Amino acid sequence: MTADFILDPGQIETESMRIIRAGLTCPWLEADYPVVERIIHTTGDPSLESSIAIHPEAIACGLQALKEGAKVITDVEMVRAGISKEKLKSLGGSVECFLNSPGVSEQAKAWGITRSMTAFRMNANRLRGSIVAIGNAPTALIEVLRLAENPETRPALIVGIPVGFIGAKESKDLLWEHQEFPSITVLGTRGGSPIAATVVNALIYTVLKQLK
C-alpha cells in the first residue's frame, strides 16, 4: 500500500525542494531561493511565487542580524511558536512576543488601538536591530512602520506577512512602498503566521549552513 510513497524524511524534503526549484519562474537572486522555496513548501502553493516580494538588501540584513545575535520579535504567539528557538539560541538570539504582556490590554483600551499595535508601541526600545516577524495583524505592521521611521527603534529586517481581508493587503503595500526598510512580504490578502515563521527559519538555517 505504501510502495508508491517516499517514506524517508530527508528524501521527501530533497525531492520537494527539487520540484519547487524546477517550477520557479521569477528571476530571483541566488540568496533569495531558500526563502522563496520555504514559503512555497510551507503553503504547498506554487502560485504564491508571483506575490513574494523580497527587498534587495533583506536577506543580507537578516543574516547579518542573526549572526550578531538579534532578537526576533513577533506579533502573535503562533509566529513565535513556529520559529526554531533552539537553533536561534545557538546563534545568541531569542524570540519575543509582547501581545500578552501585563498591561497591554489595559493600555490598548486607553489608547483606543489594537493590542498588537500597543504591544509594539510599549516595547519600541526592543526593536532596534531586531527581526520583526508579523504573520497575523496588519495593525502591528502599520505600527512597526511608524516606529521604523526613528533610527533608534528601527528593526534590521521586517518580515511583514499579515493575512486577511481588512488591512492586510494595504499594510503590505505600504511596507513595500517603504524601500528604505529591508523587508520580506507576500503581497495581497494571503499570508499568515506559518509563512512568517518559515521565512525566519529559512534565514536561521542559512546562517547555520554558512557557519558550518
d(CA 156, CA 60): 10
Is 41 a known active-site residue?
Answer: yes
The residue to which cell 531586531 is assigned: 130
d(CA 68, CA 92): 7
107-119 burial, b at 16+ Cβ within 10 Å, e below that, comes to: bbeeeeebbbbbb
Catalytic residue, candidates 41, 67, 85, 87: 41
Nearest to 175 by CA among 163, 191, 186: 186
Active site residue ranges: 41
